[in-house]
DNA sequence: CGGTGTCTTGATTCTCATCAATTACTGTGG
DNA sequence: CCACAGTAATTGATGAGAATCAAGACACCG
């Protein structure tokens, strides 16, 4: 990772919490204590079990947040893109990260150490309030998907996963704006790569999904989403 | 529900966030704006889809938080007991609850409306900070269990669920200090009542679990927990 | 052109959800 | 105090779905 400097003032991530409160003097005081990193595609920048060194804001690029088991299975917990926060779960009481994170494409990261961030939050209660709501929101999304996950069929898991990926990265020229391996999709959907391929093949035959090389496209989101029974409803997040 | 008054000053729930900051003047100002309710066993006090009317703190008793599907299946998201918070996910951006909650035993609830709570949080930033950490903590626990859930076997789900219940309510005289129906256990573990019974029967035969009437006991937590593969590790919460 | 890794498909085995039937438990009214 | 009804708990049988294994297709790269 190389250190550079990408200022908050010129940043155009309108969904960034810091950016939202950039006009407050208390926030501006701390901008200089931000660290910025370049992270190449595939590179891991948070390692499960490593000491927490604060939060990361994604300036540009995309990352996956995942956890690995002893048996080398891995589980992708979330995808994140520019403007979003990574590593926030290590915040507060934790001393080591309980997740890993790696870049899906070349990514620029802004880092605040926990100490700096805590100080900043106390100086700017409005920012703190938004952080609280952010966590509450994340919690809601997490719980909404969480348990229900165990009752979905494989087909539903994959459809749910693809819908999520589409909502996160969007489509461009008819194809999802992010190329993921079958394995990543499987790790995200909570099944095996084999099953993902089966379901994708079936969906292609049904005309619900199109593919060009590794790129996947969803021609009709409405119909695609209707494939989910109401019991496994999709939540963006 | 009957309105009564249970004061925060005489409350002995040391894990209550309000109680923790009871010495602050800003907090004390708002104590009078708390509503207190009695809720009988089995009674529902939060209804999915109903307008949010704030947060509940459990003064005494125990509750289940759940969600119902169109097909009348229900999914228990969490158990909570005295000192803990219920309804916090409706906080912030939501206007209707996305969960239901019912009392598992006779329960006394303290309610703050969202308006009052938001005002109080802004007046007492330290309380707000703890709220933020509370949400962060909940998020971590939720995500830790969430996805992995989909990959557990039924046996693991039930064991995981029982371990959770034990950690929440504890054991007394060798038996878990809360009587739950097989259905509740099933709804919590994410499987059917049938399967729960099968697994419980098997565990009893293996000597890992004991039963007296409806009461269940775990003689050796250590050995019991070892039944979980490392891939589905247990997290208290 | 071999080698490596991902992708894809088929076949087999096993688990689990579901249904059905039986037994235990609980409360209610006569 | 008992008979009864309704609910919860338990066990068995069966079919659908999914995990797993294995092998072939394909692309990419030196």
SS in 3 state form for chain B? CEEECCCCCCCCCCCCHHHHCCCCHHHHHHHCCCEEEEECCCCEEECCCCECCCEEEEEECEEEEEEECCCCCEEEEEEEECCCEECHHHCCCCCECCCEEEECCCEEEEEECHHHHHHHHHHCHHHHHHHHHHHHHHHHHHHHHHHHHCCCCHHHHHHHHHHHHHHHHCEECCEECCCCCHHHHHHHHCCCHHHHHHHHHHHHHCCCCEEECCEEECCCHHHHHHCCCHHHCCCCC
**Do A89 and B230 lie within an 8 Å CB cutoff?**
no
Residues 150-169, chain B, CB closer than 7 Å to nucleic strand C:
153-155
Interface of B with A (CB under 8 A): 69-71, 73, 75, 77, 88-89, 91-94, 98, 121-122, 125, 128-129, 131-133, 135-140, 142-152, 157, 190-191, 230-231
Q: Which of B75, B98, B125 sits opposite A128 (nearest CB)?
A: B125
Q: Give pLDDT, residue B131.
A: 94
pLDDT of residue B186: 95
Nucleic acid strand C within 7 Å of A194 CB: yes
Confidence label for A70 from pLDDT (cuts 50, 70 and 90): low
pLDDT of residue A19: 93
pLDDT tens, B30-40? 999 999 989 98
The mean pLDDT of B123-138, rounded to a whole number, is: 93
Q: Minimum mean pLDDT among A218-227, B106-115, B159-168, B220-229: which range? A: B220-229
Domains of chain B: 17-148 (2.60.120.10), 151-228 (1.10.10.10)
**Is the Cβ pair A146, B148 closer than 8 Å?**
no
Q: What are the residues facing A22 on neighbouring strands?
A: none
Judged against a pLDDT cut of 60, whether residue B16 lies above it is answered with yes
């Amino acid at each position: 990772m190389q250190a550079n400097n990408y200022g908050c003032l010129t940043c155009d991530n309108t969904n960034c919490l810091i950016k939202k409160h950039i006009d407050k003097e208390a926030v501006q005081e701390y901008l200089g204590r931000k660290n910025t990193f370049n992270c190449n595609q595939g590179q891991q920048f948070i390692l499960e079990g490593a000491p927490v060194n604060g939060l990361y804001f994604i300036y540009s690029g995309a990352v996956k947040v995942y956890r690995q088991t002893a048996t080398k299975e891995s589980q992708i917990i979330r995808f994140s893109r520019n403007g979003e926060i990574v590593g926030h779960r290590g915040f507060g009481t934790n001393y080591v990260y309980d997740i890993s994170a790696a870049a899906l494409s070349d990514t620029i990261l802004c880092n605040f150490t926990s100490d700096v961030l805590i100080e900043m939050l106390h100086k700017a209660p409005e920012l703190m309030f938004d952080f609280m709501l952010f966590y509450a929101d994340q919690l809601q999304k997490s719980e909404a998907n969480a348990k229900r996950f165990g009752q979905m069929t494989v087909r539903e898991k994959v459809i749910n996963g693809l819908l999520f990926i589409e909502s996160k990265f969007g489509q461009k020229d008819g194809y999802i704006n992010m190329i993921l391996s079958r394995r990543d999709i499987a790790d995200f959907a909570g099944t095996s790569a084999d099953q993902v391929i089966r379901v994708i093949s079936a969906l292609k035959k049904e005309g619900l999904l199109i593919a060009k090389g590794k790129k996947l496209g969803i021609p009709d989101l409405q119909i695609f989403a209707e494939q989910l029974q109401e019991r496994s409803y999709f939540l963006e997040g």
